Amino acid sequence: MASKMTTVCEYKPGLEGIPAAQSSISYVDGQRGILEYRGIGIEELAQKSTFLETAYLLIWGELPTKEELEAFKRDILYHRRIKYRIKDMMKCFPETGHPMDALQASAAALGLFYSKRALDNPDYIRKAVVRILAKIPTMVAAFKQMRKGNEPVQPCDHLDYAANFLYMLNEQEPDPLAAHLFDVCLMLHAEHTINASTFSAMVTASTLTDPYAVVASAVGTLAGPLHGGANEEVITMLEAIGSVDNVHPYLEDCLQRKSKIMGFGHRVYKVKDPRAKILQSLVEQLFDKTGGDKYYEIAVEFEKAVEEKLGYKGIYANVDFYSGLVYRKLGIPTDLFTPVFAIARVAGWLAHWKEQLGENRIYRPTQIYTGSHAVPYLEMTQRDPYPY
């Protein structure tokens, strides 16, 4: 008879509350609704900074001087294009495939082209950071064009990072307010301590593999509906609700079925996510200029209703609840919402990659074994069919 052994050791599902690293990149206070990048409040960055300046801050730890920022922007501008072989590879992707899968494959493919790894060389680190930040938006926009059978739109040299992405996506220069709001969205999504995709990036980085593999593994993790994929599901949910009158019946039904409400709840925040507050104000600015949207009214009513029912459990709107409404208004297709999240979060992944390399030790946690021991090998004739 096989024996069962138990081990006394506290197990925390989802590693809740277990510190997995020391980091000076970002800070979250989930009770007070505070998010800081390198000590600077997200609200102040959203007002005064830009995505690329914020990416620099996250990765190198300090705000760049004017000259440093100009040089960084110039380098990124120079590296925006992707090699024709990568485009050829992407053309072979099925047009029905999810853009996150396309992005994960394309990000990993960069490692084939830039394979000379030199993780102890600051110049290599800088070039890898620049290449990844520069090319990810181009790859996201290229897939959007290619799945329709079109050639990708080339990056436009006189447009900055956010405006250029919207241009490559929609084939027209965006309105300055739209480009500015999109840039703020990228800033808000750039970093968020050790979330699932960042942890994925750190585990991959800890093996000293190349940064393209680090980013590809993080993209795969971000894709899931419990993480980055929730913004897509929020729009599907708002469409299913369909009218303000249906908000309460829809919510009651969700609660009865005990289904998770997308865009709500967070492992760390027990109050409204500070990014959701900023995003909500961006939605309002955008709608003031371009005209309202019934889904915003539904969203506001729905948020109120969820707070009434689930606020006591610390369940409030998270970053994904309002982001989709902004993206939709900017002409971004729903299945590109998560790739857009990835464009922003790459900054945080790279910051953690660089930090991880500074004091690296390979991640190798332990487990609590719940299986049997000393099990005899059964001959084929003695085995029972598996009870599928």
Which positions are catalytic?
266, 320
Does position 322 interact with ligand ACO (CB under 6 A)? The reply is no
Q: Considering only 2-10, 53-61, 167-175, 260-268, which stretch makes contact with ligand ACO by CB under 6 A? A: 260-268
Q: Number of residues in contact with ligand ACO, rule: CB under 6 A? A: 20
Rg (CA), the chain: 23
Nearer to ligand ACO, 95 or 252 (CB): 252
Nearer to ligand ACO, 195 or 356 (CB): 195
Cβ-proximal residue to ligand ACO, closest one: 265
Q: Between 64 and 311, name the residue whose CB sits nearer to ligand ACO.
A: 311
Stretches 22-30, 70-78, 223-231, 235-243: which one binds ligand ACO (CB under 6 A)? 223-231
Cβ pair 317, 263 in contact under 8 A: yes
* 336: DSSP letter: G
Helices and strands (H, E) in the chain, number of each type: 16, 5
Give the C-alpha separation, 57 to 346, whole Å.
13
| Contact assessment for residue 113 and residue 104, using Cβ atoms and an 8 Å cutoff | no
Beta strands in the chain (DSSP E): 3-4, 26-29, 34-37, 40-41, 372-373
Closer residue to ligand ACO in complex, CB, 118/226: 226
Distance of closest approach, residue 166 Cβ to ligand ACO, in angstroms = 22
CA distance 307 to 313: 9
Count of CB atoms within 10 A of residue 292's CB? 12
What are the angstrom distances between the C-alpha of 134 and each of 68, 82, 84, 156, 347?
Answer: 16, 9, 16, 12, 11
Among 227, 248, 277, 328, binds ligand ACO (CB under 6 A): 227
- Residues whose CB is less than 8 angstroms from the CB of residue 128 and which lie 6 or more positions away in sequence, other chains included: 114, 210, 211, 212, 350
Determine, following the binding rule CB under 6 A, whether residue 352 of this chain makes contact with ligand ACO: no
How many residues are listed for the chain in this entry? 388
Complex with ligand ACO: residue 152 or 263, whichever CB lies closer: 263
Task: Specify which residues 34 forms β-bridges with.
Answer: 29
Helix (H, G, I), strand (E, B) or coil at 365: coil
Contact 329, 285 (CB under 8 A): no
Cβ nearer to ligand ACO, comparing 263 with 274: 263
- Residue number, 72 or 341, with CB nearest to ligand ACO: 341
- Where b means 16+ CB within 10 Å and e means fewer, 347-375 reads bbbbbbbbbbeeeeeeeeeeeeeeeeeee
User: Residue from 129, 286, 319, 343 that binds ligand ACO (CB under 6 A)?
Assistant: 319
Does position 12 interact with ligand ACO (CB under 6 A)? The reply is no
- The stretch among 30-38, 113-121, 256-264, 347-355 that binds ligand ACO (CB under 6 A) is 256-264
Candidate list 263, 274, 339, 348; residue touching ligand ACO; CB under 6 A: 263
Q: Phi then psi for 253, rounded to 5 degrees?
A: -65, -45
Give yes or no for residue 274 binding ligand ACO (CB under 6 A). Answer: no
Residue 226 within binding range of ligand ACO, rule CB under 6 A? yes
Residue 164 or 221 with smaller CB distance to ligand ACO = 221
**Nearest Cα to Cα of residue 31 among 290, 293, 268:** 268
CA 323 vs CA 81, 265, 336: distances in Å: 27, 15, 12
Q: Does residue 18 bind ligand ACO (CB under 6 A)?
A: no
Q: Which of 109, 132, 262, 350 touches ligand ACO by CB under 6 A? A: 262
Figure out which of the listed residues 104, 198, 318, 338 binds ligand ACO, where binding follows CB under 6 A: 318
Binding string, residues 296-315; x marks residues near ligand ACO by CB under 6 A? --------------x--x-x
- Which residue in this structure is represented by tokens 């006189």? 158
> Which of positions 191-220 make contact with ligand ACO (CB under 6 A)?
195
In the block, tokens 């299945």 appear at 335
Q: Does 320 bind ligand ACO (CB under 6 A)?
A: yes
Residue 111 touching ligand ACO (CB under 6 A): no
Q: Per-residue string for binding with ligand ACO, 38-77, x by CB under 6 A?
A: ----------------------------------------
Contact (Cβ atoms closer than 8 angstroms) between residue 219 and residue 104: yes
Residues forming the site for ligand ACO (CB under 6 A):
14, 195, 226-228, 230, 260-267, 310, 313, 315, 318-320
